A and B are shown apart, each in its own frame.
Chain A
Amino acid sequence: MSVSAAAPAPPPAQPGAVTGAGPGPAIDLHDLRRLFTGRGAATKALDGVSLQVAPGEIFGIVGRSGAGKSTLIRCVNLLERPDSGAVRVLGEDLLGLDGTALRERRRRIGMVFQHFNLLSSRTVADNVAFPLEVAGVPRAERAQRVAEALALVGLADKAGAYPAQLSGGQKQRVGIARALAPRPRILLCDEATSALDPETTQEILALIKRLRDQLDLTVLLITHEMAVVKEICDRVAVMERGQVIEEGRVFDVFTRPRHPTTRRFIADTIGHFIPPGTVARLPAPREGEERRLLQVLFAGPNSTRAVISEASRRFALDLDIISGRIDEIAGEPFGLMALAAYGSPEQIDAATAWFTELGLTVTPVDAPTLQTKAEAA
């Protein structure tokens, strides 16, 4: 922690427009900048990041390690102070607050950590009681709130255990109960499932989602796993080198990624992998024809239309389906298909244009990994 940080900057007059009607955003970050200078080299951990998280929303920030997401989430409760910018939480500017007021606000922002960060010397119940203790909640009320929080995460029977006696998933449940004990409006999740196995990850994500619905929480989470975003987020921002490079509804970002980095992230979760041998066994194109591998993403109103056979007839193409799958993101179904198209280059272009017109997303892919050309470039 940097105690020697410069005096907090006054909040800007207009911290970014809020889209939609109703109450303002629960979290409103405006043009955050943070420079880390260490060992000679300076890194821009945050390079002008603005984000708004609506009340009741689960907002995901995804990025590789070092992208700045960790610094960003720490700016929301000012564990990390930005060099410049504005941090508004529940409509209040945090940077202008003094120490006492800031600590009081932090108690309304729960935080869950990758490595749980439980006190090993305290029992589960005493860990959950910690935030209430530091806030000066009387003992009797503390006991009741602890029981309540442990019941929420399904660990009422572990109240007397020590963290070392718990599994990873149970520890994270304690971490969540501890974050919720002071009844916060906002929950920050710092790679909350990254230290857990896939099954436990699902459990914890389901728990976070249920708690959001039950307690009307606003959740901001950071992760390096697109699968986490796909599982529970409503909206997502992709970060790279201290900047948000793409942001939007999860379904839109997954089905129509614009930035190559986003595409790479998505390929890990919903991409295709076609063994090189399969591509090698595809028939060679005839004289004067061309073979092109395409990835077609079906989403929206035309996703149920028989577009493949229609395209084949219209453009006199042979369309060979190499692989296909149906998946669901945030409750919305979509289909993904890899095709080998055989025909004259003009006709293939025309078919691609027609697909796009119908609202399908067509990406040319390179054999054998079916990596998109944009990435290979």
Chain B
Amino acid sequence: MIPWLTPMLEQLFVEAAIETLTMVGGAAAIAIVFGLPLALLLHATDRGGLAQNGLVNRPLGLLINAVRSTPFIILMVAIVPFTRLVAGTSIGTGAAIVPLALASTAFIARLFETAFREVDRGVVEAARAMGATRLQILWKVLVPEAMPGLIAAVTVTLVSLVGYSAMAGAVGGGGLGDLGIRFGYQRFMPEVMASVVIVLILFVQGLQSLGDWLVRRVRRR
């Protein structure tokens, strides 16, 4: 039906798609797990926060900014020793998750922090007046009240991860982006390149729609 889609290319396509999903999903999961406490820490230690502390807030903010401002392709090769330490190797899909997770943790922590900042301060004050502890305020007030913003932040992060994961080819991470470069560009098969792009567009569209739908569901305003 599609003349250029040989069984071998088809298999490569499926493998690449799985690799992309693995990298994006794995990195996003790690980013959420580490990004949420980081964002809460940033928010709480900020000026006027629940546990205002410049000695924690400023260095943490600086570190996050440093990670965010390093171009991903440079970050990837710069942390190769760390990647080797964590993943046991610096090559392959699993190894690519390490820099992707690092970059997206910094990214999502800032987005989460913004979502927390948008929670009405009056609600936090009311919780304090009712005798809530700081931990109760974090988990029972800030996180649920910021939920629409948190979900939107996850969506944005997932979409950017799809883009970043294309660069993972540089460390042998594979994935759809890598397939597009190797076959579409280096082997002069524009139809492969176009297919990769179309699949990625559909993928991102799907993610965005899912995210928007979830936001609408949890938003009670």
A106 engages B220 (CB within 8 Å): no
Return the CB mask of B133-150 against A: 1 if under 8 Å, else 0: 100100011001101000
In the complex, which residue of chain B has the Cβ closest to the Cβ of A2? B52
Q: Which residues of B contact A107 (CB under 8 A)?
A: 130-131
Which of chain A's residues has its CB closest to B126's CB?
A: A117
Interface segment, B77-85, B95-103, B117-125, B178-186?
B117-125
A111 & B126 in contact (Cβ 8 Å cutoff): yes
CB-defined contacts of B122 to chain A, threshold 8 Å? 113, 115, 117
Are B48 and A121 in contact, with the CB atoms below 8 A? no
User: Does A122 have its Cβ within 8 Å of any Cβ on chain B?
Assistant: yes
Residue of A nearest to B134 (CB): A99
Chain A residues near B129 (CB-CB < 8 A): 77, 79, 106, 109, 111, 188
Chain B residue numbers with a CB within 8 Å of A131 are: 130-131
Q: Kindly list chain B residues whose C-beta atoms are within 8 Å of the C-beta of A2.
A: 52
Could you say which of B53, B126, B130, B220 contacts A121, with CB atoms under 8 Å apart? B220
| Pair A4/B52 contact, Cβ less than 8 Å | yes
What residues on B are CB-neighbors of A135 within 8 Å? 131
A134 contacts B by Cβ under 8 Å: yes
Quick check: A121 and B218 within 8 Å, CB to CB?
A: yes
| Residue from A1, A3, A105 within 8 A of B128 (CB atoms) | A1
Of A3, A115, A120, the contact of B145 (CB 8 Å cutoff) = A120
Q: Are the CB atoms of B131 and A103 closer together than 8 Å? A: yes
Contact call A134/B140, Cβ cutoff below 8 A: yes
B91 at the interface (CB under 8 A from A): no
List the A side residues contacting B221 at CB < 8 Å. 120, 164
A120 and B100 CA atoms in complex are apart in Å by 34
A104 contacts B by Cβ under 8 Å: yes
The 8 A CB mask of B44-59 against A (1 = contact, 0 = none) is 0000101111000000
Chain A residue contacts of B50, Cβ below 8 A? 1
- For chain A residues 71-127, which have a beta carbon within 8 Å of chain B? 77, 79, 103-107, 109, 111, 113, 115, 117-122
Q: Which residues of A contact B51 (CB under 8 A)?
A: 3
CB-based closest 7 A-B pairs = A117-B126, A131-B130, A106-B131, A103-B131, A117-B122, A107-B131, A111-B129
A-B contact pairs, 7 of them (CB 8 A): A1-B48, A2-B52, A3-B52, A77-B129, A106-B128, A130-B140, A135-B131
Q: A1-B52, A120-B123, A130-B130 are in contact. List 5 more A-B contacts (CB 8 A).
A: A3-B53, A79-B129, A118-B123, A134-B127, A163-B220
